[in-house]
Structure formats: structure tokens, C-alpha cells
């Protein structure tokens, strides 16, 4: 089904309202390749009709299907590697040193925001496992969230195809943390116990989440408008502990965000820490906040 310029405008507005993801007229191929099957199955003669149906009927299932289809779930284990080296060499040793001393509790909370199918939170879990010798004696939770229902479901099952495993997993880690099963590999229960998953739209209120010692929010804000991206990172600052660490994608930088975050350099990676002396920047009300 061909997409018309009017269709594109309609789809773009609907998708941006739902997810924050910005589409423009250059994304016609994306709309066609990702939504044509769904439009046909939903009995719609155009993409505009598909969006109207999903919007007006309040059909949550159809909305979820549009979100699943239009969002980009590209990810891999240990993506870009250097953030995981920074975790291993710096962040986790610093957290362990700070939290092993009473009265601090041996509790570590990490959030992989927009975790797609789970490769990122499981990579964090493997890194923690290999860095903290008695990790199971710690109260560790790595929370993976994503707007896409199907991505969160796959992440939660902890099942990966051989193709997904080949992307970033080394044989020693594979043998240690996964068991082979029909059609692929499954995360072993002990590693799985460190990770939990839930659906979360980063445009909504993030109330009730955190505070986290570490947040990974990588390769999602690149799809948002400048304003949505800025609001998101400023809101994330409120969900970090005062000594927390924020990791963004390799192509992302928070240098335009003002003094709320202080960059820190480790090897090839920059991570950010909340700047406690900076006054909070005004944040626009997130869409969907009550
Ligand atoms: C390219 S993947 C990044 C996965 C992982 N963070 C990484 O860097 O490998 C982007 C993810 O962002 C999710 N996403 C898009 N809009 C979102 C939103 N408003 N709230 C939460 N997740 C969103 C998509 O569903 C997708 O899984």
C-alpha cells in the first residue's frame, strides 16, 4: 500500500503523540515497510484510516501494534563496549566501595530505559556478576523498560536466537550465562533473577521509578524532537541518586543541557553525574502526566 504525503503527516503526528518518535516525509519507506501489513490486517484502506481507527476507537491493542511496528528495536549485547568497561572498571567498584560500608545497604539499582529486547540489561547483569564476587549476596535489581510490549515480552523471556547471540556475545560469557534450547539460547535463572522488566513510556510520568544508582538511556532520544529529548534527560536527573551515573548512546551528548549534568570521562566513554550545585532547569509537563 502506497503512502501519500497526507498519510505521512497523519502517521507522523499520531506516532509522535504516542511515542515521541519524530517521522518526516523522508520516512515514507519506513511507514510503508512497517505499517502496510498491519493496515491490511486491520482492514484499513490507508495509513490515515489505520491511525484514525487506533486513535478514535481507543483500541489499545491496535495502538500497541502501531508502536511495536514503528519503533526501531535495533540493539545488541555489550553495544559499543566502552560503557560496560566503565561499569566494570570504575562505576561498579565505586558503588561497591560506597555501599559495602555500614550504614549503607548492599543495594544496587540500575535502570536500562528503552531496553528493547533485553540485550542491554542482560549485558549490565553479566558485567555486575563478573565484577562483584558475591553478587547474589547483594540486593541487586536491574530494571529494563521499553514502550514496546513485544520487546518487553521477549526481554522478559530471556530467549535469544543464534543470530542475536552472535551479535556481541563472546563464547565464554555464552557458556557461563546461557543454556542452549530449541531455536536458540536462554538466560540462566541466576542471572535472570537480577533483572526485571516492565513496560514504560518515557513520555509519561516516571513517578514511582527509582532512585537509581545508574541509568542507561541510550539510542532512544535520538528519535525524539529536541524539546522531548531535553525534557527526558532533565527528568531522568530526578531519578538518579545524588551520586548516580547516566550513560547515553555513543552518538549522544548532554553538552547542550546546561549545568544539570557534569560529564566524566573514562577511556572512550563519557558518562554524566548529577550536578548537585546546579539549580534544576524548568521541565515541561510530560505528556500523559496527571
Ligand atoms: C534502538 S533501541 C535502543 C535499545 C538499547 N537502549 C540500545 O542502545 O541498544 C530504541 C528503543 O526505544 C524504544 N522507545 C521508543 N520510544 C520510546 C518511548 N517513548 N518510551 C520508551 N521506549 C521507547 C523502542 O521501542 C526501542 O526498543
Q: Domain segments of the chain: what residues?
A: 5-70, 82-274
Q: For a pocket test of ligand 1, which of 114, 147, 227 has the largest count of ligand atoms closer than 8 A to its C-beta? A: 114
Residue 101 alpha carbon to ligand 1 centre in Å: 36
- Is it true that 5-70 and 82-274 share their CATH fold? no
- Residue 80 exposed, middle or buried by CB count within 10 Å (0-12, 13-18, 19+): middle
Strand partners, 181: 184
Percent of the chain with pLDDT over 90: 82
pLDDT at 62 over 70: yes
Q: What is the pLDDT of residue 284?
A: 59
Q: For ligand 1, say whether the CB of 219 is within 6 Å of any of its atoms.
A: yes
Condensed to tens digits (0 to 9), the pLDDT of residues 261-286 reads 999 999 889 999 998 676 666 655 55
Q: What does the pLDDT read at residue 14?
A: 94
Q: What does the pLDDT look like over 143-155, one tens digit per residue?
A: 999 999 999 999 9
Ligand 1 atom closest to the CA of 202, numbered from 1: 20
- Does a cis peptide bond (omega within 30 degrees of 0) precede residue 103? yes
Return d(Cα 121, Cα 216) in angstroms, integer.
Answer: 9
pTM of the entire predicted model: 0.94
Residue 164 predicted with pLDDT over 90: yes
Alpha carbons 23 and 225: distance in angstroms, whole number:
10
What CATH homologous superfamily does 82-274 map to? Vaccinia Virus protein VP39 (3.40.50.150)
- pLDDT score for 282: 60
Distances in Å between the Cα of 176 and the Cα atoms of 8, 110, 129, 140, 246 are 47, 22, 11, 19, 28
CB within 8 A of 186, min separation 6: which ones? 157, 158, 159, 160, 178, 179
| Top-tier CATH class for 5-70 | mainly alpha
Going by pLDDT thresholds of 50, 70 and 90, the confidence category of residue 86 is: very high
199 phi and psi, to 5 degrees?
-80, 140
Amino acid at each position: 500500500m502506497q503512502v501519500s504525503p497526507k498519510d505521512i503527516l497523519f502517521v507522523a503526528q499520531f506516532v509522535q503523540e504516542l511515542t515521541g518518535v519524530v517521522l518526516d516525509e523522508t520516512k515514507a519507506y519506513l511507514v510503508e515497510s512497517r505499517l502496510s501489513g498491519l493496515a491490511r490486517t486491520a482492514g484499513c484502506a490507508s495509513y490515515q484510516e489505520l491511525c484514525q481507527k487506533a486513535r478514535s476507537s481507543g483500541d489499545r491493542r491496535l495502538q500497541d501494534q502501531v508502536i511495536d511496528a514503528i519503533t526501531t528495536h535495533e540493539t545488541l549485547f555489550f553495544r559499543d563496549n566502552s560503557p560496560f568497561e566503565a561499569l566494570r572498571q570504575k562505576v561498579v567498584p565505586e558503588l561497591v566501595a560506597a555501599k559495602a560500608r555500614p550504614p549503607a545497604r548492599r543495594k544496587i539499582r540500575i535502570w536500562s530505559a528503552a531496553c528493547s529486547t533485553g540485550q542491554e540489561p542482560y549485558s549490565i547483569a553479566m558485567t555486575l556478576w563478573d565484577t562483584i564476587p558475591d553478587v547474589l549476596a547483594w540486593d541487586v535489581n536491574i530494571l529494563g523498560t521499553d514502550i514496546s510490549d513485544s520487546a518487553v515480552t521477549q526481554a522478559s523471556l530471556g530467549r535469544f536466537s543464534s543470530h542475536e547471540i552472535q551479535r556481541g556475545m563472546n563464547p565464554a560469557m555464552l557458556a557461563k550465562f546461557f543454556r542452549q534450547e530449541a531455536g536458540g539460547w536462554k538466560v540462566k535463572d541466576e542471572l535472570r533473577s537480577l533483572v526485571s522488566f516492565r513496560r514504560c513510556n518515557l513520555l509519561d510520568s516516571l513517578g514511582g521509578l527509582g532512585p537509581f544508582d545508574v541509568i542507561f538511556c541510550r539510542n532512544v532520544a535520538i528519535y525524539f524532537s529536541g524539546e522531548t529529548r531535553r525534557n527526558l534527560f532533565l527528568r531522568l536527573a530526578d531519578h538518579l541518586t545524588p551520586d548516580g551515573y547516566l550513560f547515553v548512546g555513543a552518538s549522544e551528548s548532554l553538552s547542550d543541557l546546561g549545568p544539570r549534568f557534569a560529564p566524566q570521562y573514562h577511556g572512550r566513554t563519557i558518562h554524566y553525574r548529577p550536578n548537585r550545585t546546579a539549580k534544576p532547569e524548568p521541565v515541561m509537563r510530560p505528556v500523559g502526566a496527571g
